[in-house]
């Protein structure tokens, strides 16, 4: 029985350890359950965390996307900013340039302004100078015009006076000049207010004048009626030249008759009728006066009038046949008688010249001058007279009588004073002596 006790004890021990182990297993089991419970909860929480992580990842991805978008935006903006800066710079430089330009322009403007001012001053000066010059030139033109007018007037007057002189010298017209006026001339004088007419005409002719008209002219003016009343009144105040027309004739016929060809009354004729003037110029010796607006003129002598004057002058200068015969006869006689007496030294004898103051028409056309010759020798150049019986001085010069050389011998010694006064006639035909 000793082995069975040790075994029984060992079986008991073994029972005990198995109970213990069962207990432990139970505890372990419980622990395992707890552990699995905790694990499951842990697992769930891990899963939820994972889910949350996923969500966060997604969020992060979205945020990253946003960030990249924003970054690209920023880059865009940056590039824009740079571009803008560039633009700004260029604009700034442009502004700078513009400012410089502006300054330059300002300077240019100032310069131009001063130039302009100078120019304006120059223009002003030039204008005032020119204005002065123009004024001066105008004055000079005025002066020149006046001078020309004056010159013309003087020239005209000279021409007119020359014409008058022609008629006084060649045809013996004398002052006061007689001017026969017809109706047209009187009307012209009245309508152009050339008054007083006689003063105007005497200024034209260069001497006092007397105005005439004829009854026929007045009658004609009367016929012309109211328009010519003033002219008629003026004509009636003039002197009347006699015409022998019982019945009034036409004015031009009457005047032609009054004047005639020779115009022995020495009338000037005033008429505005150009045709009538032309006609008279061709057939009578009459100076013609007419008016041109407010100027009075005198027609130039016509060819007929000049030729007539020339002819009568030639007639006067040449001898007629009878005069020649008489001359030859008388000189022969004188020479013969002188030879007999032996007093002649020189046989060149001449007839004293006889010059008529009447022209070929029988009209006296020259003035007859009386010469104031010295009655004796110049007393200052002579010795004093000694005695009464010595009064006759030796006179070597022979004298020639005005009418004929035949009287010469007889009269010599008769009067010394006469001798001296005839001295020149000794020279013969060329002497200027004039006798009737």
User: Of the two residues 167 and 212, which places its CB atom closer to Zn ion in the complex?
Assistant: 212
Buried residues in 8-24 as b, exposed as e (16+ CB within 10 A)? eeeeeeeeeeeeeeeee
How far apart are CB 249 and Zn ion at their closest, in Å? 5
Looking at 208-216, 286-294, 327-335, 389-397, which segment touches Zn ion (CB under 5 A)?
A: 208-216
205 touches Zn ion (CB under 5 A): no
- Taking the least distance from each CB to Zn ion, the nearer of 243 and 295 is 243
User: Whose Cβ is closer to Zn ion: residue 250's or residue 328's?
Assistant: 250
Contact in structure between 215 and 238 (CB atoms under 8 Å): no
Residue 251 near Zn ion by CB under 5 A: no
Stretch that binds Zn ion, among 182-190, 240-248, 292-300, 400-408 (CB under 5 A): 240-248
At closest approach, how far in Å is the CB of 213 from Zn ion? 10
| Binding range to Zn ion, per CB under 5 A, among 198-206, 213-221, 312-320, 396-404 | 213-221
Q: Is 265 in the site for Zn ion (CB under 5 A)?
A: no
Contact by Cβ (8 Å): 402, 431? no
Contact in structure between 189 and 214 (CB atoms under 8 Å): no
The answer to whether the bond into 193 is cis (omega within 30° of 0) is: no
245 sits near Zn ion (criterion: CB under 5 A): yes
Nearer to Zn ion, 243 or 344 (CB): 243
User: How many chain residues are in contact with Zn ion, going by CB under 5 A?
Assistant: 5
Of 31-39, 40-48, 248-256, 268-276: span binding Zn ion (CB under 5 A): 248-256
Q: List the one residue from 160, 214, 302, 421 that touches Zn ion (CB under 5 A).
A: 214
Q: Which residues contact 413 (CB under 8 A, 6 or more apart)?
A: 392
Looking at beta carbons only, is 202 or 214 nearer to Zn ion?
214
* Angstrom distance (rounded) from CA 45 to CA 58: 19
Q: In terms of CB distance, is 170 or 218 closer to Zn ion? A: 218
Q: What is the rounded CA–CA span in Å between residue 341 and residue 400?
A: 17
Minimum distance of Zn ion from residue 219's CB (angstroms): 8
Nearer to Zn ion, 245 or 358 (CB): 245
Strand partners, 289: 270, 298
Backbone angles phi, psi at 80, to 5 degrees: -60, -45
- Selected range binding Zn ion among 76-84, 215-223, 364-372, 396-404, rule: CB under 5 A: 215-223
If the CB atoms of residues 197 and 251 are measured against Zn ion, the closer one turns out to be 251
417's CB contacts (< 8 A; 6+ apart) are 375, 376
* d(C-alpha 143, C-alpha 133), whole Å: 15
- Cβ of residue 217: shortest distance to Zn ion, in angstroms? 8
Q: Which one of 107-115, 227-235, 254-262, 292-300 is the stretch in contact with Zn ion (CB under 5 A)?
A: 254-262
Q: What are phi and psi of 320, to 5 degrees?
A: -80, 170
> Which of residues 170, 194, 216, 232 is near Zn ion by CB under 5 A?
216
Helix, strand or coil for residue 288? strand
**254 lines the binding site for Zn ion (CB under 5 A):** yes
Residue 203, CB-side half-sphere exposure with 13 Å CA sphere: 12
Burial 100-122 (b: 16+ CB within 10 A, else e): eeeeeeeeeeeeeeeeeeeeeee
| Residue closer to Zn ion, measured from CB, 265 or 416 | 265
- Residue 208, helix vs strand vs coil: coil
Q: Return the range that interacts with Zn ion (CB under 5 A); candidates 84-92, 244-252, 331-339, 364-372.
A: 244-252
The verdict on 243 binding Zn ion (CB under 5 A) reads: yes
Which residues make up the interface to Zn ion (CB under 5 A)? Answer: 214, 216, 243, 245, 254
């Amino acid at each position: 029985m000793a082995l069975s006790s040790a075994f029984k004890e060992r079986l008991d021990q073994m029972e005990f350890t198995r109970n213990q182990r069962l207990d432990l297993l139970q505890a372990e089991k419980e622990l395992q359950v707890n552990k699995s419970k905790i694990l499951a909860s842990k697992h769930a929480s891990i899963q939820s965390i994972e889910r949350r992580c996923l969500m966060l990842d997604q969020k992060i991805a979205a945020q990253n996307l946003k960030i990249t978008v924003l970054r690209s935006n920023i880059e865009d903006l940056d590039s824009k900013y740079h571009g803008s800066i560039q633009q700004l710079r260029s604009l700034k430089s442009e502004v700078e340039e513009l400012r410089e330009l502006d300054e330059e322009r300002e300077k240019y403007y100032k310069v131009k302004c001063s130039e302009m001012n100078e120019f304006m001053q120059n223009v002003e000066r030039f204008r005032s100078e020119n204005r002065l010059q123009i004024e001066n030139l105008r004055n000079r033109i005025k002066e020149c015009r006046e001078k020309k007018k004056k010159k013309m007037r003087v020239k005209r007057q000279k021409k007119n006076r020359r014409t008058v002189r022609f008629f006084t010298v060649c045809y013996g017209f004398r002052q006061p000049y007689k001017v026969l006026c017809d109706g047209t001339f009187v009307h012209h004088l009245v309508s152009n207010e050339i008054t007083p007419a006689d003063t105007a005409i005497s200024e034209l002719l260069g001497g006092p004048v007397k105005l005439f008209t004829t009854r026929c002219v007045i009658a004609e003016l009367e016929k012309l009626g109211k328009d010519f009343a003033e002219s008629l009144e003026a004509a009636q105040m003039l002197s009347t030249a006699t015409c022998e027309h019982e019945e009034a004739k036409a004015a031009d016929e009457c005047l032609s008759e009054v004047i005639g060809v020779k115009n022995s009354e020495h009338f000037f004729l005033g008429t505005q009728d150009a045709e009538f003037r032309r006609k008279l110029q061709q057939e009578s010796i009459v100076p013609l006066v007419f008016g041109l607006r407010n100027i009075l003129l005198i027609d130039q002598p016509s060819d007929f009038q000049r030729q007539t004057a020339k002819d009568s002058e030639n007639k006067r200068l040449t001898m007629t046949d009878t005069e020649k015969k008489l001359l030859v006869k008388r000189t022969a006689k004188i020479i013969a008688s002188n030879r007999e007496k032996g007093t002649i030294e020189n046989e060149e004898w001449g007839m004293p010249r006889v010059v008529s103051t009447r022209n070929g028409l029988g009209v006296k056309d020259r003035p007859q001058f009386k010469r104031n010759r010295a009655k004796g020798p110049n007393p200052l150049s002579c010795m004093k007279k000694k005695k009464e019986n010595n009064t006759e001085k030796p006179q070597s010069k022979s004298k020639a009588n005005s009418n004929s050389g035949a009287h010469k011998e007889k009269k010599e010694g008769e009067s010394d004073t006469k001798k001296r006064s005839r001295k020149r006639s000794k020279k013969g035909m060329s002497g200027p002596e004039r006798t009737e």
